[in-house]
């Protein structure tokens, strides 16, 4: 049985005061009726504050990115050991904004995945196609390629300690989510891809859907058999909305 996960990607939003309000608001719902795991991924500079606020809670902490290198002369970067040190459990790798805006290619994402796992962090590996790729019928080729780049360097067992997130680029921050059927189709494709490597691990792997998830559409998306929760951007910045999404997961 896979336990659902709802992870909030705050992106570059927040302040110390806003985050305190948001997390305290979220903690009012913590433990109420969530069967799902919940996690929040604040910007790097707020991780320590968030770790302190979440200390006694069931909400996990995650980061939005990680350096592929272990340590050293990489000005501006944050390595996996540091994320672990401040209390992170999860880290997002290969978010489409990192791929598109910061030119992260499949190979770099794969190295980040390995770097995260080397420190005991659980990577949330994002894959997803653009609108033009979908319209050209390339969705499976694109997400398959993005997944294969990681599978080429990580053994099948690595996916036992990882989470996959299908995030169609055209649905992120646009208010236009994939339909449950569209999401299910790609999730099933990804699970079958992993099943070719290891059927048991494929059945255990959590595959999240991300792209304009809200309280109003979460239930129908999460009802699909291969959708094991969500990676939530905008709606994770409102405590009540995020808590509602967690409670339906």
For the chain, report the end-to-end CA distance as a whole number of angstroms: 14
Q: Does residue 213 belong to the site contacting ligand PEP (CB under 6 A)? A: yes
Does residue 123 bind ligand PEP (CB under 6 A)? no
Q: Yes or no: say if 246 and 202 are a contact pair by the CB < 8 Å rule.
A: no
Q: What is the CA radius of gyration of the chain?
A: 17
Q: How far is the CB of 102 from ligand PEP (least distance, A)?
A: 15
173 binds ligand PEP (CB under 6 A): yes
Q: Please confirm, yes or no, whether 185 is among the known catalytic residues.
A: no
Question: Catalytic: 167?
Answer: yes
> Is 234 a binder of ligand PEP (CB under 6 A)?
yes
To the nearest whole angstrom, how small is the minimum distance from the Cβ of residue 161 to ligand PEP? 21
Adjacent-strand bridge partners of 163: 124, 206
**Stretch 48-107 residues interacting with ligand PEP (CB under 6 A):** none
Biggest CA–CA distance in the chain, Å, is: 48
Size of residue set near ligand PEP by CB under 6 A:
14
CB of 126 to ligand PEP, least distance (A): 7
Residue from 210, 243, 245, 248 binding ligand PEP (CB under 6 A): 210
User: Toward ligand PEP, which CB reaches closer, 62 or 202?
Assistant: 62
202 vs 206, which CB is nearer to ligand PEP? 206
Cβ within 8 Å of residue 16, ≥6 positions away? 46, 49
What b/e sequence results for 25-47 when a residue is b if at least 16 CB atoms lie within 10 Å of its CB, and e otherwise? ebbebbeeebebbbbbbbbbebb
């Amino acid at each position: 049985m896979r336990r659902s996960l709802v992870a909030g990607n705050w992106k570059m939003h927040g302040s110390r005061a806003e985050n305190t309000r948001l997390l305290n608001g979220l903690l009012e719902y913590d433990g109420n009726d969530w069967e799902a795991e919940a996690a929040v991924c604040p910007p790097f500079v707020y991780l320590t504050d968030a770790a302190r606020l979440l200390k006694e809670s069931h909400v996990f902490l995650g980061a939005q990115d990680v350096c592929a290198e272990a340590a050293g002369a990489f000005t501006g970067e944050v390595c996996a050991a540091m994320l672990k040190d401040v209390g992170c459990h999860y880290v997002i790798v290969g978010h489409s904004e990192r791929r598109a805006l910061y030119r992260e290619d499949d190979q770099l994402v794969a190295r980040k995945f390995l770097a995260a796992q080397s420190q005991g962090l659980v990577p949330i590996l994002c894959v997803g196609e653009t609108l033009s790729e979908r319209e050209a019928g390339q969705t499976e080729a694109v997400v398959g390629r993005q997944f294969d780049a990681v599978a080429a360097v990580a053994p099948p067992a690595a996916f036992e300690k990882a989470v996959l997130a299908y995030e169609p680029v055209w649905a992120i921050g646009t208010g236009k989510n994939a339909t449950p059927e569209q999401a299910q189709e790609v999730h099933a494709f990804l699970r079958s891809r992993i099943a070719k490597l290891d059927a048991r691990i494929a059945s255990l792997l959590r595959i999240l859907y991300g792209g304009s998830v809200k309280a109003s559409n979460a239930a129908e998306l999460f009802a699909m058999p291969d959708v094991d929760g969500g990676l939530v951007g905008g709606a994770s910045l409102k405590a009540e909305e995020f808590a509602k999404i967690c409670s339906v997961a």
